[in-house]
Structure 1
Amino acid sequence: MEPSLKERSGNHCELCKSGNHLSVYTVTPATHPNNQIVICDACLTHLEKGIDTDSQYWRFLTEAMWSEVPAVQVVAWRVLSKFKNEDWAADNLDMLYLDDETLAWAKAEQDSTSVEPSEVHKDSLGAVLQNGDTVVLTRSLDVKGSSLNAKMGTVVKNIRLVADNTDQIEGKIDGQLIVILTKYLRKQKG
């Protein structure tokens, strides 16, 4: 680790302030100057999980986003943007100010890696579904290969969209992960 990074970070993770198992993380694109920050293994693991990471883990960004280091601000903006549908993240994004250059840097990865899906998952009433939504079954369903009968009105929390089929989502009912057809559910209002 470069002495300048070690000094700037105080030998702590520049995101969560942990002092354990530190490494240098390069904030993409790598061509941007001063694009390295010091992070711990836990933050690195969560960053690598991308959208599958636990949003509650990132609550410390409420403090980290005020860093004077643009690379830290970029990481904070990118992570908060992934969870912008959650109140705490949306509130932080509203408060977070990035100068034009830093904001363009933060959006650069997002613009190059995000592809708008041509088709989206919709419930039986046409409402767009997203990962993490809560839905309600609109009819009773027998689960294939199981004795489970999911009753009409059953609430399924924290759904996951099936990537290659917009007619299906995954959700847990009675602790069992099952695939549910979107035509048999409706999105629960938040």
Structure 2
Amino acid sequence: MKQDERKCDLCQAGDNVKSYEVPPASGISILVCDTCLAQIDRKAELDSNHWKCLSDAMWSEVPGVQIVAWRMLHRLKHESWAMDNLDMMYLDDEALALAKATGDHENDAAVELHRDCNGQVLQSGDTVVLTKSLDVKGSTLNAKMGTVVKNIRLVENNTEQIEGKIEGQVIVILTKYVRKQGS
């Protein structure tokens, strides 16, 4: 298959499609677009309209597609159409065991993202402004309210913290004390 003919196995989008190994490390992989991947990995808010594509994808004969469709439908089970699809969907015992293996089906659609004091989503590389003067622990540095911090980094596994450089020092800053510049 040519590169330009590759499509997302879930939503059929043709842009930026890449291989995704279906966890747990089972050797099963599918092709997914950036939009699907970000939502599968909980790096973007779950868009229920985007996932209506599962009404078709869930009938795929590819086990990896079935597993991901089942997990995503469970994350969307507050939507009536998703519950209807789950009621109709069939997985053989092996695929069902793999689908349940990560426990992802027990989680809701909630996504934890780094957000500033106004609720704006922060991303690595963003520029933020301090909304409060902060004393930096272990240092004599006092970061004044209004200080601009460029090119921030997100602290992995802690959505309440970012890293930024102030006066040449890399410090950890609580997201509740920053405002994304331009918001």
The one-letter code of the counterpart of 1:75 is V
Q: Where do 5+ consecutive residues of structure 1 fail to align?
A: 1-5, 116-129, 132-190
**Does the alignment pair 1:15 with 2:19?**
no
TM-score (norm 1): 0.51
CA distance in 2, matches of 1:82, 1:22: 23
**What's the counterpart of residue 81 of structure 2?**
88
Q: 1:57 to 1:71 in 2, by over 3 A?
A: same
**What's the counterpart of residue 61 of structure 2?**
68
1:108 corresponds, among 101, 111, 135, to 101
- CA offsets per residue over residues 98-142 of structure 1, 9 Å max, x none? 00000000000117x958xxxxxxxxxxxxxx97xxxxxxxxxxx
1:28 corresponds, among 17, 20, 23, to 23
Runs of 4+ in structure 1 off by over 3 angstroms are none
Q: Where do 5+ consecutive residues of structure 2 fail to align?
A: 111-183
Question: Aligned-pair distance for 1:50?
Answer: 6.6
Q: 1:51 to 1:100 in 2, by over 3 A?
A: farther
- Tell whether the 8 Å contact from 2:74 to 2:106 is kept in structure 1 after alignment: no
- Tell whether the 8 Å contact from 1:55 to 1:83 is kept in structure 2 after alignment: yes
TM-score (norm 2): 0.53
The one-letter code of the counterpart of 1:78 is R
Q: 1:110 to 1:60 in 2, by over 3 A?
A: same
* Structure with the bigger percentage of helix: 1
**What's the counterpart of residue 158 of structure 1?**
none
- CA offsets per residue over residues 13-39 of structure 1, 9 Å max, x none? 100111111111010011x24x11011
Q: 1:13 to 1:81 in 2, by over 3 A?
A: same
2:42 corresponds, among 49, 67, 70, to 49
Q: 1:89 to 1:51 in 2, by over 3 A?
A: farther
* Superposed CA RMSD: 2.5
The one-letter code of the counterpart of 2:30 is I
- Tell whether the 8 Å contact from 1:51 to 1:82 is kept in structure 2 after alignment: no
**Does the alignment pair 1:59 with 2:52?**
yes
Question: Aligned-pair distance for 1:57?
Answer: 1.5
**Count of residues in Structure 1 that have an aligned counterpart in Structure 2:** 107
- CA offsets per residue over residues 67-110 of structure 1, 9 Å max, x none? 11000000000000011121000000001000000000000011
CA distance in 2, matches of 1:50, 1:110: 18
Question: Aligned-pair distance for 1:56?
Answer: 1.9
